[in-house]
Structure 1
Amino acid sequence: MRVHVLGAAAGGGFPQWNCNCGNCARLRAGTLQGRPRTQSSICVQGLPGPDWALVNASPDILSQIRATPALHPRRATRDSGIAAVVLSDAQVDHCTGLLMLRESTRPLPLWCTDPVYEDLTRGNPILGVLGHFCGVERRTIPLDGSPFSIEGVPGLQLAALPLASKAAPYSPHREHPVPGDNIGLVLTDTASGRRLFYAPGLGERSEAVDAAMRSADCVLVDGTFWTDDEMIVLGLGRKTGRSIGHLPQSGRGGMLEWLDELPHGTRKVLIHVNNSNPILDEASPQRAELVARGVEVAWDGMDIEL
């Protein structure tokens, strides 16, 4: 199984277009030891071949495709290496890119949960707009852990796990979460049995999620904020990380404590990193702490092979 990171940043990317925080300002000035990142998305395949499953379609999808030759058209005048799209939630930074794929020569195969489908037909009717272009062929992601496969992507099996997090701001159930608003995905190589757990939005621990992470060979999980009050302290917002569905890395009960408990040999990678997070500075003490704990930070173009 090969997982290719198309984008590793949270909403807004890094640097964010209107942000002058220390990280963004220093990156633009060339004084930050770090690299720019687009908004989070991955593509995955089981066996080597021409087609991939795209997991989340960020607003940066066109630049991500241009930077990824494996997704370029090869077999016809109009073609794509994207066999289907799988959504982990209905957040803007994970679904807006669907509109950028409207020139598809066939309806886009789209895997999503029922709550996400409701959000994208009512709260933010992207799928209705796409109906005037290529349209979609919707496939339902089961929430009982039943495995499913993507046509055209052999050797790969997926299974969903509901997560405790927040629905999109425009969701009819923003303040009353339901199972399926956000999911983690267990990606399994059917030949080797090796697994990757993917959850770019993870708000709190649960026994089910803990079990999925412990049984995975690699976890690619929420790296949005270093501290719960990060946005407040920097004057960038008024909400805590936990209140918008993101478990911070540091502090009691944070992501790093959780990752420390995983079995030896588990590869640990943070994704969906907000522009305010000090771990984006590769010379920062926070980044040094990650290195000491054996935790990586995803970057655009990163490949994970299992």
Structure 2
Amino acid sequence: MQLRVLGSAAGGGFPQWNCNCPNCDGLRRGTLKAQARTQSSIAVSANGQDWLLVNASPDVLAQIRANPELQPARAVRDSGIACVLLMDAQIDHVTGLLMLRERGSPLPLLATPEVLSDIGEGFPLTRILSHYCGTEALLLQPDGSLQTVPGLPGLAVRPIALSSKPPPYSPFRHCPRPGDNIGLLIENPDNGARVFYAPGLGEVTPELLDLMAQCQIVLVDGTFWTEDEMQRLGLSKKSAAEMGHLPQSGPQGMISQLDRLPPGVRKILIHINNTNPILQEDSAERSLLAEHGIEVAWDGMDLVF
């Protein structure tokens, strides 16, 4: 089983188009030891040819160009993307659906009822796409049960409801529902190896920690370093928690949670905001992650399990 990181940044990418924070400005000037990143998305395949696209970022066309496996060219019009799965309805995870509108048949779309309601009404992507390729809505039940992926034999997933928030445009922004945001357990049926993917994570519960402890790889929310990161930089009035993310630092932060996992679990952060100092490869924060055995995902990273 193969997992390819197509994009590793949070919304806006890195550098963000309108941002002159120390990270973005330093990358543009060439004074920062860091890599540019597109907005977060992964692709998963059981055979290396047919892929499940997990989240369709606004950068999806650039990501397809950067990953030739997603364009096998078996016909005049072709794609290795057999199905799209949405973890939530955030703009940086769904807007790329519009870029896939030239598909010759309805796009299979796996999502929870809550996510489908948000992109059907609040941000009516599925209604817009009905005038182009259309979509084939396939319901995900975020109860941890095993669900097969149509068109992708050998690939099944277990969606798990997470504590987080729906997008700002959602009418349920201030009263989250189970299913607004999910984690994804992906298992290789041949060897039992497991990967847990959760780019938006507001809380690590004991049950979730137990599940992560049974995985070979966890690929989880790396959005912010501190709870007040955006506030201190004058970029937002909202804290990490108010945006639905668990920062890395602090007594109950992501580092302390990942430290509780057993040795041998590979720990990787993804969905990294442009303001996060861990983007600087020679920063003290990046060194601290390394001391705790935590990696930072990058565009093009390959995980085989």
For 2:37, give the aligned amino acid: R
Aligned equivalent of 1:5: 5
Segments of 4+ moved more than 3 angstroms: none
Aligned letter for 1:72? Q
**How far 1:150 moved relative to its partner?**
1.5
Between the aligned partners of 1:100 and 1:285, the Cα distance in structure 2 is 39
Determine helix, strand or coil for the equivalent of 1:161.
strand
- Corresponding residue for residue 240 of structure 1: 239
Tell me what 1:196 maps to: 195
State the match for 1:36 in structure 2.
Answer: 36
CA distance in 2, matches of 1:269, 1:172: 32
Does structure 1 conserve the Cα–Cα contact (< 8 Å) formed by 2:162 and 2:201? yes
Aligned 8 A contact 2:56 2:95 in 1: yes
Q: Give runs of aligned pairs for residues 113-124 of structure 1, distance below 5 A.
A: 113-124=112-123
1:173 equivalenced with 2:172 (yes/no): yes
Structure 2: stretches of 5+ with no match in the other structure: none
On the 8 A contact 1:57/1:96 being kept in 2, the answer is yes
User: Counterparts of 1:224 and 1:41 in 2: how far apart (Å)?
Assistant: 14
CA distance in 1, matches of 2:211, 2:68: 32
Q: Which amino acid is the alignment partner of residue 14 of structure 2?
A: F
Deviation at 1:149, TM superposition (A): 1.5
Q: Return the alpha-carbon distance in structure 1 between the equivalents of residues 97 and 210 of structure 2.
A: 32
1:297 aligns with 2:296: yes
What SS does the aligned partner of 2:289 have? helix
Shift of residue 258 of structure 1?
Answer: 0.4
**How do residues 1-306 of structure 1 correspond to structure 2 at under 5 angstroms?**
1-46=1-46, 48-306=47-305
- How far did residue 206 of structure 1 move? 1.3
Distance, in Å, in 1 between the alignment partners of 2:204 and 2:109 is: 28
Query: Could you list the per-position Cα deviations for residues 57-84 of structure 1 after superposition, in whole angstroms to 9, with x for gaps in the alignment?
Result: 0000000000000001411100000010
In structure 2, C-alpha distance between the alignment counterparts of 1:194 and 1:156, rounded to whole Å? 13
Secondary structure at 2:147 match in 1:
coil
**For the residues of structure 2 that align with 1:140 and 1:279, how far apart are their CA atoms?**
36
How many Å apart are 1:152 and its aligned residue?
3.0
CA contact (8 A) 1:45 1:154 kept: no
| Contact 1:155–1:191, Cα closer than 8 Å, also in 2 | no
Task: List per-residue Cα deviations over 1:95-143 (Å, max 9, x = no partner).
Answer: 0000000000110000000000000011100110000000000100012
CA contact under 8 A between 2:2 and 2:48: conserved in structure 1? Answer: no
Please say if residues 7 and 37 of structure 1, whose CA atoms lie closer than 8 Å, have aligned partners that are also in contact: yes
Please tell me the residue identity of whatever aligns with 2:293: G
- Work out whether residues 114 and 140 of structure 1, in 8 Å CA contact, stay in contact via their aligned partners in 2: yes
Q: Is contact 1:163-1:184 (8 Å) kept?
A: yes
Please give the alpha-carbon distance, in whole angstroms, between the structure 2 residues aligned to 1:224 and 1:104.
32
Question: Which moved further from structure 2: 223-232 or 151-160?
Answer: 151-160
Q: Distance in 2 between matches of 1:148 and 1:241?
A: 32
In structure 1, what is the Cα distance between the partners aligned to 2:117 and 2:150?
Answer: 24
Are the counterparts in 2 of residues 61 and 100 from structure 1 also a CA contact under 8 Å? yes
May I ask how many residue pairs the two structures share in their alignment? 305
TM-superposed CA distance for 1:23, in Å, is 0.3
Percent identity between matched residues is 57
DSSP 3-state at the match of 2:52: strand
| Amino acid of the structure 1 residue aligned with 2:286 | R
Aligned equivalents of 2:144 and 2:231: distance in 1?
A: 37
**Structure 1 unmatched ranges of 5 or more:** none
CA RMSD of aligned residues (A): 0.8
Greater mean deviation of Cα atoms: 153-162 or 217-226: 153-162
Distance 1:73 1:266 in 2: 33
Given the two structures, how large is their TM-score scaled by the length of structure 2? 0.99
